[in-house]
Structure 1
Amino acid sequence: MKLSFSIIIPVYNRPNEIDELLESLAKQDFTTDFEVLIIEDGSTQKSDTIVEKYKNQLTLKYFFKENSGAGATRNFGMQQASGNYFIILDSDVLVPTQYLSEVKKVLEENYTDAFGGPDAAHKSFTALQKAINYAMTSVLTTGGIRGKKQAVGKFQPRSFNFGLSQKAFAITKGFSDLKIGEDIDLTFRLWQNGFETQLLEKAFVYHKRRSSIPQFFKQTFAFGAGRPKLNKRYPGSAKITYWFPSLYILGISFSIILAAIGFNEFLYFYGFYFLLIFLDSLYQNKNVRVAFLSIITSFTQFLGYGLGFLESWIFNKNE
């Protein structure tokens, strides 16, 4: 099968991000033609002039549509695409020069109708962006489920770096109307229809995540709230590990109460864990500030996801 790639990028009020992403796509070492589709999801800050800058460097298609959310916008893009394999990227990523070459190489060696790739922190990222990336990708925080070969279980691709064949899109109809977890929902439906997914470990992107700590909390809360809904929609998909952030938050709360009456032993455990995070992030990032912020972002992730999961589980279990 000869692969022809269409890169689908939904965007909402992010012209500067599109500029950076298109610049990185224009620098690909890929020798085969590919097309890039920019789908403006009802933006008030349009990207049309940015797209115009790259018309002589890339094969581009630009669409403007009424706001309908990221999932429907990705589906719209795939409907307009002419390639037989779609690569879906978020607007806040940068793509290494070898990205498309790596995707093609792996798919030609071991074809699957869907794939996911990991994310990484670019050297130009801020300390907070690097710390958020650490919290989202470290084995110590997420178990490496977002792109580490040693992660337990089948890999569930994420929409910031997601590949899907034209055939799989035609059968699954793409992303559902879920606002959170729509990529995991699509993965489950791919498996139900007999399609295989795989992790392309070397097909990573640099994920900028332009977030503050409060925004990161809000995002992880939404991720946590979405998981019980997915568990209910797909019985049998639930895992005990999804409870870990909630148990972590309940445990640290209980430890603080015990410390108030003189029992500090449980808090020592959490202190040791935070020390491990600091040392691991310091080893990976070679930066003390990033390592310190990694403690804050890791706690924020546990707090957001854990509380979101608990709230959703309590209020939706009887629906």
Structure 2
Amino acid sequence: MKLNFSIIVPVYNRPQEIEELLQSISQLDYSDSFEVIIVEDGSSITCKEVVENFSSKLAIQYFYKENSGPGGSRNYGMERAKGSYFIILDSDVVLPTQYLKVVSERLQESYTDAFGGPDAAHPDFTPLQKAINYSMTSFLTTGGIRGKKKGVGKFQPRSFNMGISKKAFQVTQGFSDMRAGEDIDMTFRLWKSGYTTQLIEEAYVYHKRRNTIPSFFNQTFAFGTARPILNRKYPKTKKLTYWFPSLFALGFDLSILLLLFGYWQFIAVYGIYFSALFSDATVENKSFKVGFLSIITALTQFFGYGLGFLQSLLFPND
């Protein structure tokens, strides 16, 4: 089965990111034709000129629409795509040269109507970007659910790096209007419609993510608020593990309080955990600085997700 790919990228006020992404797409080691669709989601700082600069290198289309959030913009692009298989990317990723070749070969070998791939830190990333990537992908922080073989359960593709067939898009009608968790919602509806998903571990992207601690906190907070909404929409998908970040954050606060009264044993447990995390991040990134920053980003992630989860659970707004 020959697949015709359409790469769909929503963007909001990030022309520099689009330039880096398109540059990497133009350097892909892939001989078959494919198209790129950039959907400007109501940006005040557009990337139209950047896209035009790549018109001689890529089969590329540019659309500007009113702001609707990334899910609606992805749907807008897929509705106008010519391919039979859509690849969804965030604007803040960069592709390695083998990306599309790997996706094509894997789908030829073992076809599914949807797939997801992991993210990785490029060697040129800043120490903070590498630390954020570590905290979002490490088995010690997320259990490997974002693209590790040792992750458990069926793989849920994430919208920064995923693919979906045109047929599956038409049946599911694409992404919902959720501002966060819309990719997980999509996966649940794919499964409900009888489609299967797979992890293509070698189809990784370099994901720049947020570049400050406050913006990373806001991002993980949004992820946390989405989970109780998904649990209410799909009760059978509830898992105890979704509580872990909230329990971690509450336990950390309690251990600090108990330390003031002379009970050091509880904070010592956290100390052991963060020592293991520091060692693992340092070895993986070959940097003590990244190891130290990974402690900060892991705390940010746990508190952001955990507090968002509790707010959405206790004060539902869906």
Q: TM-score, normalised by structure 2?
A: 0.98
Q: Which amino acid aligns with 1:13?
A: N
Residue 141 of structure 1 aligns with which residue? 141
Residue 217 of structure 1 aligns with which residue? 217
After TM superposition, give the deviation of residue 210 of structure 1 in Å: 3.3
Q: Which amino acid aligns with 1:76?
A: Y
Q: Which amino acid aligns with 1:8?
A: I
Residue 289 of structure 1 aligns with which residue? 289
Paired with 1:90 and 1:249, the residues of 2 have a C-alpha distance of 29
After TM superposition, give the deviation of residue 211 of structure 1 in Å: 2.6
Q: Does 1:180 align with 2:167?
A: no
| SS of structure 2 residue aligned to 1:152 | coil
Q: Aligned ranges for residues 1-319 of structure 1 at < 5 Å?
A: 1-316=1-316
Paired with 1:16 and 1:262, the residues of 2 have a C-alpha distance of 52
Q: Deviations over 1:239-282 (max 9, x none)?
A: 01000011111111221122111110111110011111110000
Contact (CA 8 Å) 2:89, 2:162: kept in 1 or not? yes
Q: Using the aligned pairs only, state the percent identity.
A: 62
Paired with 1:198 and 1:146, the residues of 2 have a C-alpha distance of 12
Q: Which amino acid aligns with 1:22?
A: L
| SS of structure 2 residue aligned to 1:191 | helix
Contact (CA 8 Å) 2:210, 2:216: kept in 1 or not? no
Q: Which amino acid aligns with 1:113?
A: D
Paired with 1:280 and 1:41, the residues of 2 have a C-alpha distance of 39
Q: Which amino acid aligns with 1:3?
A: L
Q: Deviations over 1:133-170 (max 9, x none)?
A: 00000000000100001101111100000100000000
| SS of structure 1 residue aligned to 2:115 | strand
After TM superposition, give the deviation of residue 174 of structure 1 in Å: 0.3
Paired with 1:257 and 1:144, the residues of 2 have a C-alpha distance of 31
After TM superposition, give the deviation of residue 3 of structure 1 in Å: 0.3
Q: Which amino acid aligns with 1:262?
A: G
Paired with 1:15 and 1:109, the residues of 2 have a C-alpha distance of 36
Q: Which amino acid aligns with 1:268?
A: A
| SS of structure 2 residue aligned to 1:316 | coil
Worse-matched range after superposition: 50-59 or 228-237: 50-59
Q: Which amino acid aligns with 2:198?
A: Q
After TM superposition, give the deviation of residue 65 of structure 1 in Å: 1.1
Q: Which amino acid aligns with 2:165?
A: S
Paired with 1:235 and 1:120, the residues of 2 have a C-alpha distance of 32
Paired with 1:172 and 1:218, the residues of 2 have a C-alpha distance of 29
After TM superposition, give the deviation of residue 55 of structure 1 in Å: 1.1
| SS of structure 2 residue aligned to 1:44 | coil
Q: Which amino acid aligns with 1:133?
A: N
Q: Deviations over 1:94-116 (max 9, x none)?
A: 00000000000100000000000
Specify every segment of 5 or more residues in structure 2 that has no aligned partner in the other structure, as ranges. Answer: none
After TM superposition, give the deviation of residue 208 of structure 1 in Å: 0.5
What is the aligned length? 318
Paired with 1:74 and 1:273, the residues of 2 have a C-alpha distance of 39
Q: Deviations over 1:166-205 (max 9, x none)?
A: 0000000000011110000000000000000000100000
Worse-matched range after superposition: 82-91 or 55-64: 55-64
Q: Which amino acid aligns with 2:134?
A: Y
Q: Which amino acid aligns with 1:104?
A: S
Specify every segment of 5 or more residues in structure 1 that has no aligned partner in the other structure, as ranges. Answer: none
Paired with 2:113 and 2:165, the residues of 1 have a C-alpha distance of 5
Paired with 1:68 and 1:316, the residues of 2 have a C-alpha distance of 22
| SS of structure 2 residue aligned to 1:140 | helix
Paired with 2:232 and 2:112, the residues of 1 have a C-alpha distance of 27
